[in-house]
Chains A and B, each alone.
Chain A
Amino acid sequence: MNALILLSLLGVFSLLAEIFSFKKLLYPVVLLGLAATFGVTVCDWGTTQTYYNMIRVDDFSISFSLVILFVAFLWFIMAKDYLNDEEHKTSYHSLVLFALVGALCMVSYTNMTMLFLGIEILSIPMYILAGSNKNDLSSNEAAFKYLIMGAFSTGFLLFGITMIYGATGSFDLAEIAMIVKAHPENISNIFYVGILLMLVAMAFKVSAVPFHFWAPDVYQGAPTPVTAFMATIVKTAAFAAFLKLFYSAFADVNTTWMTIVWAIAAITLLIGNITAVQQTSVKRMLAYSSIAHAGYMLMALLAQDEYSKGSILFYTLAYSVGSIATFTIVGIVISKKGKDEVESFNGLAESNPLLAVVMTIAILSLAGIPPTAGFFAKYYIFTSAFFAGNIGLVIIAIIASLIGVYYYFRIIIAMFFKGSNDAAIHVQPIQKVLLVLIAITIIALGLFPDFIVRLGFVS
């Protein structure tokens, strides 16, 4: 709760910065504030506090909050240029901070009202930010598409919540679970329809097939830092919310939704990876890869044991850190070459070796090759699927991973193998620091995953 308050205050502070014109200080203050929020959240570890039956801060929410805040910190460094836009500096800062408030609500809600609020608080700033490149047609298209599709899915969500309320008379997750447990024979069909509608809404938020159609256009059109935000923080929050909802309120009727999630996971894995192969735009390719990664995480959702939370926690962290690196580099390359085609990466190993090496590490992580974080994340997901008996899904995932290697390695081959006559690309020192930090994090998470794994076990 302290984290929520701090972040909200920071958001308000950003708005005030416009009025009282201390814009120069804003960026460092926000970074410090984020670090402080991180610290406050760490201090809450091990405690459980419930606020008005709306929000519960426990180990589950804290572990996901920490992932979100850590990634947000990296994101703020990555998006320095974007945020410090002359004209919109304060509004960008506050929008992002409010989006983070929404993300934290989504990982700590205990009431469906709060879930809805969290999703909306997160989404509305994202709609605006996606269109923040006002003079760019595709950015406008991205914002509009995202808004329409997002509103549509919110409709599904609300409809689902209403139905569940109709069937059980409660918005509270624990209460719903209790009612379902106590009278399994009295559950009306409306309840199942509600679950289905909420499943659709959540699948939309995590961009799972067949609710993924918005993702490629939005990812490609939105400014690169905003895309990175959507691919990492939004996805982490959405998965935590997804997990929480289906594991607490709907855990006892899992036979009804597991088959559906199984099928969604399988087609998400296959369609995400196969479609990514055909893309020539790197941002679009990463959008499809992000869809594919949602497929892996859905596998963990089916596990229903102590592995499930831990593996999703680890996966979101590994995937987010890797994505921040790739999007940072994609952003730099686009700003130099003007295009985000795979060809833009030709000869990057010569024009800037650091970018090429970090990109390689990040890509190896996304592709799941040891000793990176992505490998362990994937291993952990496979294990949890195995323990749940979903061997068929593991085999689909293995095939999907192989397809994944194909398109990821296209970038590696372009960087190292294809030549270009471009001049050396210069990178700001702060970006260099960020990239080196991320590369170290990726390898360290891959080599010493135990800490995060235990974090997942406790929560």
Chain B
Amino acid sequence: MITLLLIFFPLLAAFLVLLTKGEQAKKIALLASVVEFAISIYALCNFNADATTQFGFNAPWVASLGISFHVGIDGISMLMVLLTTFLVPVIILSSFKTNYKNPGLFYALVLSMQMALIGVFVSLDGFLFYVFWELALIPIYFICLLWGGENRAKITFKFFVYTLAGSLFMLAGLIYLYQQTEQGNSSFDIDALYQAGRNMTPTQQGFIFWAMFIAFAIKMPIFPFHTWQPDTYTVAPTQGTMLLSGIMLKMGTYGVIRWLIVLVPQGVQNWSGVAITLSVIGIVYASCIAIVQKDFKRLIAYSSIAHVGLIAAGIFAFNAQGMQGALIQMLSHGVNVVGMFFIVDLIQSRTNTREISALGGIRNVNPQFAVLFLIILLGSVALPLTNGFVGEFLLLNGLFQYNPYMTAFAGLSVILGAVYMLRSYQSIMLGETNAITASFTSLETSEKAVLIIICAAVILFGVYPKPLLDIAAPAVNQLLGS
């Protein structure tokens, strides 16, 4: 039942928020998301870290077609749910200084997006998974369309069509699998689909692999399916970008873990080389492009492609280190990227520019901001003792076991990441204060709170990541064993 509560509480809150006006909407939304976080913590306390699926709920939905409302939480889902419930309050809090027009609708969309995201992470029925997957797209589309920046109609539309195209191929793949389940008793249940997937010939599995992989690759995004991403991230309002990069991107990586590598093992085995190659190309390519970016938000967008490429490569390497690393990195990337986009927002709201070269010397004006920025930045370049390091190290380790040469290329991401991140820090924060940055005002309480929460997470899970690893370890082992 607690799973149902986790899914539907945000929806309920969304309706409530929709009815409120102005300042109140923010507060109620924040309160609701904190309550949701508390519920997930409660779930965590009652969660046994073993390989089983817990808090399950299974009821027929479209019984005549073998579709059921089947949800449940295992270690992997637990981490994803926690990430979502942790980030949404942070994201809402980060918007406290921004005055969006029509705030009731804005926060209602954010909360309904949360519902869909949690639904994706706990679904154990192919059809249900697809419905939540698509459902997540609608709120974010409207968030970007209504509150986005310049030229948003065109860019958000491209984003919508891109992801919808991927999803429709996934739907075709799922229906095909459904058709292969037991005759006369076809079912979308995850176990039935796993069974059907395994019984298929390698060629069939290959087709399913591609149908599903394209959907996930577009969502993450992996090179060459990434072209929607930099524009969309840049044009979306800050909170929209945070939702996209912090959580929605993880739908893709989660999808690969839950709905691809176990679903069609033979297909994955045949094609994982291609998938890893694409991921590694994406890492190097996106890092190189990030280096030459002039717009700081766009730079972060490209860095996100590089990071997610490494996560995907680690998953497809299909060993314990890679998988664990991917999970940890999904969490830390979620936290760090939200922090980075918040910093972009802070800078932009104070200086009206995101141009790296136009800024400089902010540290002289606001040293406090400089420290917090530095911590998040170090987390995202994966310095030891930050959360980024744990994940990245495990990922590279996992990939090394798969192929050392690939790892050499993928490892470039660490170096190149340091190049573009530290360089931009240098030109934004250090040096002489100029006319634009001279008036960089001190941080408001809510802004400080967001940065401190994120910095705390960066350091805490960098120093002591064991609890997170423990939650997922049994589930990961089972995944790899099956």
Which residues between 126 and 145 of chain B lie within 8 Å of chain A, taking CB atoms?
127, 130-131, 134-135, 137-138, 142, 145
Q: For the A-B complex with A406-B157, A417-B152 known, give 10 more contacts whose Cβ atoms are closer than 8 Å.
A: A375-B134, A379-B127, A405-B160, A413-B157, A416-B146, A417-B146, A449-B62, A450-B60, A453-B65, A454-B64
Q: Do residues A405 and B161 form an inter-chain contact, with CB atoms below 8 A? A: yes
Q: Indicate if the CB atoms of A386 and B63 lie closer than 8 Å.
A: no
Question: Which of the residues A376, A391, A395, A405 comes within 8 Å of B164, measured between beta carbons?
Answer: A405
Q: Is A402 an interface residue (CB 8 A)?
A: yes
**Residue B271, interface by CB 8 Å:** no
Instruction: Decide yes or no: A383 and B160 within 8 Å by CB, A371-B135, A413-B153, A453-B62 being known contacts.
Output: no
* Chain B contacts for A370, CB-based, 8 A: 130-131, 134-135
Q: How far is B145's CA from A408's CA once the two chains are assembled, in angstroms?
A: 15
Q: Which residues on the A side are within 8 Å of B171 (C-beta)?
A: 379, 382
Contact partners of B135 in chain A: CB under 8 A:
370-371
Q: Which 6 A-B pairs rank lowest in CB-CB distance, beginning with the nearest?
A: A370-B134, A370-B131, A398-B168, A450-B62, A417-B153, A413-B153
Partner of B138, one of A364, A395, A401, A450: A364
Say whether chain B's binding surface is mostly helix, strand, loop, or mixed: helix
B137: which A residues are within 8 A, CB to CB? 369
A-B contact pairs, 9 of them (CB 8 A): A369-B138, A371-B135, A375-B134, A379-B127, A382-B175, A409-B160, A417-B153, A449-B62, A450-B60
- CB contacts under 8 Å to B, within A411-459, are 412-413, 416-417, 449-450, 453-454, 457
**Do the beta carbons of A386 and B176 come within 8 Å of each other?**
yes
Indicate if the CB atoms of A450 and B61 lie closer than 8 Å.
yes
A398 close to B172 (CB less than 8 A): yes
Task: Determine the distance from Cα of A383 to Cα of B126 in the docked complex, in whole angstroms.
Answer: 14
Contact of A457 among B64, B142, B175 (CB under 8 A): B64
- Residue contact A401 to B168, C-beta cutoff 8 Å: yes
* Interface hits, B320-339 → A, CB 8 Å: none
List A contacts of B427 (CB < 8 A). none
CA distance A412 to B61 in the complex (A): 30
Question: Residue A387 at the B interface, CB < 8 A?
Answer: yes
A313-371 interface with B by 8 A CB criterion: 364, 369-371
Decide if A394 is an interface residue (CB 8 Å cutoff). Answer: yes
A416 touches B142 (CB 8 A): yes
Report which B residues bind A (CB closer than 8 A). 60-65, 127, 130-131, 134-135, 137-138, 142, 145-146, 152-153, 157, 160-161, 164-165, 168-169, 171-172, 175-176, 178-179
CA gap between A379 and B138 in the complex, in Å = 18
The distance in angstroms between the C-alpha atoms of A450 and B65, with both chains bound, is 8
Which of B61, B127, B142, B164: most chain A Cβ within 10 A?
Answer: B164
A416 to B168, CA, bound (A): 25
**Which of A370, A402, A406 is most buried by chain B, counting CB atoms within 10 A of its CB?**
A370
Contacts of B152 in A (CB 8 A): 417
How many Å lie between the Cα of A441 and that of B152 in the bound state? Answer: 32
Asked whether A383 lies within 8 Å of B138 as measured between CB atoms, the reply is no
B401 CB to nearest chain A CB (Å): 38
Residues of A within 8 A of B176 (CB): 386, 391
How many angstroms between the C-alpha atoms of A395 and B63 in the bound complex? 27
Q: Which of B130, B169, B175 counts the most A-chain CB atoms under 10 A from its CB? A: B175
Q: Do B172 and A402 touch across chains, with their CB atoms under 8 A apart?
A: no
Known A-B contacts A382-B175, A387-B179, A398-B169; A453 and B64 likewise in contact (beta carbons under 8 Å) = yes
**Which of B63, B145, B164, B175 lies in contact with A413, CB distance below 8 A?**
B145
Query: How far does the Cβ of A338 sit from chain B's closest Cβ, in whole Å?
Result: 25
Find chain B residues with CB under 8 A from A412 CB. Answer: 145
A419 CB to nearest B CB, Å: 12
Which residues of chain B are near A387, meaning CB under 8 Å?
A: 179
Chain A residues with CB below 8 A from B161, complex form = 402, 405-406
- CB atoms of B145 and A417 under 8 A apart: yes
Cβ-neighbour of A383 out of B134, B165, B178 (below 8 A): B178
List chain B residues, Cβ under 8 A from A364: 138
Q: Is the CB of B64 within 8 A of A450?
A: yes
Contacts of B172 in A (CB 8 A): 382, 386, 391, 394-395, 398
What A residues does B65 contact at CB under 8 A?
380, 383, 453
Task: Among A383, A391, A402, find the residue whose CB has the most chain B CB atoms closer than 10 A.
Answer: A383
A191 to B179, CA, bound (A): 36
Closest to B148 in A: A417
Shortest Cβ gap from A243 to chain B (Å): 19
In the docked arrangement, what's the CA distance between A336 and B465, Å?
Answer: 62
Contact A386 B134 (CB under 8 A): no
Q: Nearest-CB distance from B69 to chain A (Å)?
A: 10
Distance in angstroms from B316 CB to nearest chain A CB is 26
A383 near B64: Cβ-Cβ < 8 Å: no
Q: Chain A's nearest CB lies how many Å from the CB of B210?
A: 12
- Of B63, B64, B142, B160, chain A has the most CB atoms within 10 Å of the CB of B64
**Across the two chains, which residue of chain A brings its CB closest to B154?**
A413
Contacts of A402 in B (CB 8 A): 161, 164-165, 168
Return chain B residues, CB-CB under 8 Å to A371. Answer: 131, 135
The answer to whether residues A416 and B145 also contact, given A383-B178, A398-B172 and a CB cut-off of 8 A, is yes
Task: Name A409's contact: one of B61, B127, B157, B168 (CB within 8 Å).
Answer: B157
Are B175 and A383 in contact (CB-based, < 8 A)? Answer: yes
Tell me, in angstroms, the Cα distance from A395 to B127 when the chains sit together.
Answer: 19
Q: Which of A79-96 contact B (CB under 8 A)?
A: none
Q: Which residues of A contact B169 (CB under 8 A)?
A: 398
A79 to chain B, nearest CB (A): 31
Contacts of B168 in A (CB 8 A): 398, 401-402
The smallest C-beta distance from A381 to any residue of chain B, in angstroms, reads 11
Judge whether A369 and B153 touch: CB under 8 Å.
no
